[in-house]
Amino acid sequence: MATAPTSATIRTYHVGFGDCFLISFEYGRKPERHVLIDFGSTGVPKGVPKSRMMDIAANIKQRTGGKLHAVVATHRHRDHISGFATGKAGQATGDVIKSLKPDLIVQPWTEDPKLGPEATGPSGSNANNKKFGAGTSKQVAALSLMHEVAHQSLAAGNLPKDLRPEIGFLGESNIANPSAVKNLMKMARNAYVYCGSKSGLEKVLPGVKVEVLGPPTLKQTDAIKKKRSRDPDEFWHFQVGATALAARAEKERTTLFPRYVESRGLSYRINARWLIHHARTVRGEQLLQIVRSLDQEMNNTSVILLFQIGKKKLLFPGDAQIENWQYALGQKRYQTLLTSVNLYKVGHHGSLNATPKSLWKLFKNKSEEKTANRLLSLMSTMEGKHGSVYSETEVPRIKLVRELQHESDLFTTQLLKGRDFFHDTVVKF
C-alpha cells in the first residue's frame, strides 16, 4: 500500500509582510492532504488590492477542495495569525479557514490555556513545573502582558519622528489579536508543542515524519543557560504599569501633577528646550528597546517543524531566533537531521538573528552550482518595513539574501508582481 506521499507542492502566498504557506502532499491516486502554515500580514506593498487576504483565503479553499487537514500557527504575532480572525457576519478570512474544517491545530506550548495564570490549582501547576520548568505560568502570563505594553506603546504620542515608524510597526505586530487566538483555540483539536514533543501531524499526514525542534520549554532552556537573570512576568508587569500611566495621561489630558503644569508644548521656556529635545529622543529610544525586546521574545515562541518524507526534509522555523534555536542546535540528533535539509523556509522574513550561522553551516545541500539536489529556500518578506540598513538590522538582511541567492534556489515573495499572489514549489520524493 503506497501510504507515503509522492510529492509536495508548497504554495507561498504573497501577504506583504507576513507568512502564509500551504503545503499540499500528493498521494498518487489517493486525495491530497493539506497543511496551512501561518496566515497573517502586517502590511502590503503599494498597489496591492485590499482584498488580498480574502483572495488568499478563497484560493486556499479552492486549492484544498474545501478540506484542510492541519493548521500550524507558529506564534502569536499579527503577521502570522491575523488571517485567522473571524468577523461578526462570519465573512472574514478566519471564517473561511474555519469552514475548511481542519483536523488539527499546531501551536507552541506557550499558547496552551492550561498553562496560564488562570489555570492554577495545586496539582496542575506542580505537574506543569515539573514538565515545563519552574516559572512556566509566569512566562505565559508575561506573554499576555506584552500585548498590553504593545498596545500602550502604540498609544504613546510625541515620539521623535525617526523612531515613530519602527515603534509603530513593532507595536502593531505585537498587539493582541483575540479573535484569531480564539478561532485557533476552537477550530479543531489543538496540539501545543515543544522541542522533542509529538505534533500529532503524523496521524493526519500518512508517511510523513514530523520533528518538533522548537520552542524549548523553560526546563530545556535552563539546561543550556546558567540562569534566567530576571522574572519575565515581573518585568513586563512593571512595563505595563509604567506605560499605562503615560498612555492614560495622554488620553485624558491629565498629568501626574495637574496643579503644577507650566507648559504642555506650545512654548517651553528657552533654557529647557535643549533638554526637552534630548529627553524626547531618549524616551523614544527606551520605548523602542522595550518593543524590540518583546517582539524578540514573542518570535522565540515560534514552532520549528522539520517534515521528513523519505530522504527529503522540509524545514519551517516560523520566526524563531537564536535563543529558540539554541536548544535544538545543541543536540547531536537534530544536528544530523538538519544537515540534509532540502527546503528551508527562511526564518523571520530574512532577519539577522533568525538564520543562525551555526544552522546555515549545517546545510549540506547548499551549493554555488545549480545541481539537482540544490537547497531550495522560500522567503516571505517585504523590504523597508522593519529595521534599517545603517544599523545592520534591515529585514531582509542584505548579507543573508546574497548568501541565499548564491548558495540556494531562492524564491522570495518580492518577485511576485502585479496580480500574481502565489508561487508553487514542487518537491518530488
Q: List residues binding other proteins (CB under 8 A).
A: 156-158, 226-227, 229, 234-235, 238-246, 249-250, 255-257, 260-265, 268-269, 271-272, 275-276, 278-283, 286, 290, 392
Neighbours of 175 (CB within 10 A): 18
**CA-to-CA distance for 422 and 410, rounded, in angstroms?**
15
* Closer CB to other proteins, 120 or 158, in the complex: 158
Specify the residue, 155 or 176, whose C-beta has the smaller distance to other proteins.
155
d(CA 315, CA 290) in angstroms, rounded, equals: 30
Residue 80 CB partners (closer than 8 Å, separation 6+)? 18, 19, 38, 39, 40, 73, 74, 318, 319
Looking only at Cα atoms, what is the longest distance across the chain? Answer: 84
Three-state DSSP class for residue 284: helix
DSSP three-state, residue 66: coil
Question: What is the phi-psi region of residue 348: left when phi exceeds 0, alpha when psi lies from -120 to 50, beta otherwise?
Answer: left
Q: Nearest distance from residue 250's CB to other proteins, in Å?
A: 6
Query: In whole angstroms, how close is the CB of 370 to other proteins at the nearest point?
Result: 30
Q: How far is the C-alpha of 135 from the C-alpha of 153, rounded, in Å? A: 26
Separation between Cα atoms, residue 27 and residue 25, nearest integer Å: 6
In degrees rounded to 5, what are phi and psi of residue 339?
-60, -35
Question: Residue 175 and residue 316: Cα distance in Å, rounded?
Answer: 24
Closer CB to other proteins, 257 or 311, in the complex: 257
- Rounded to a whole number of angstroms, the CA Rg of the chain reads 23
Smallest distance from other proteins to CB 360, Å: 14
Q: What minimum distance in Å lies between the beta carbon of 233 and other proteins?
A: 12
Neighbours of 10 (CB within 10 A): 22
Q: How far is the CB of 324 from other proteins (least distance, A)?
A: 17
Closer residue to other proteins (CB): 158 or 405: 158
Among residues 126 and 388, whose Cβ is nearest to other proteins? Answer: 388
Q: Given the complex with other proteins, which of 27 and 235 has the nearer CB atom?
A: 235
Name the residue nearer to other proteins (CB basis): 3 or 286: 286
Closer to other proteins by CB, 103 or 250: give it.
250
User: 238 vs 406, which CB is nearer to other proteins?
Assistant: 238
Least CB distance from residue 137 to other proteins, whole Å?
19
In the complex, what is the shortest distance from the CB of residue 338 to other proteins, in angstroms, rounded to a whole number?
19
Phi-psi region of 197 (alpha: psi -120 to 50; beta: other; left: phi over 0): beta
Sheet containing strand 70-72, strands side by side = 189-193, 104-108, 70-72, 30-39, 20-27, 7-13, 422-428
Question: Could you tell me the smallest distance in angstroms from the CB atom of residue 279 to other proteins?
Answer: 5
As measured in angstroms, the least distance from the Cβ of 281 to other proteins is: 8
CB 75 within 8 A of CB 37: no
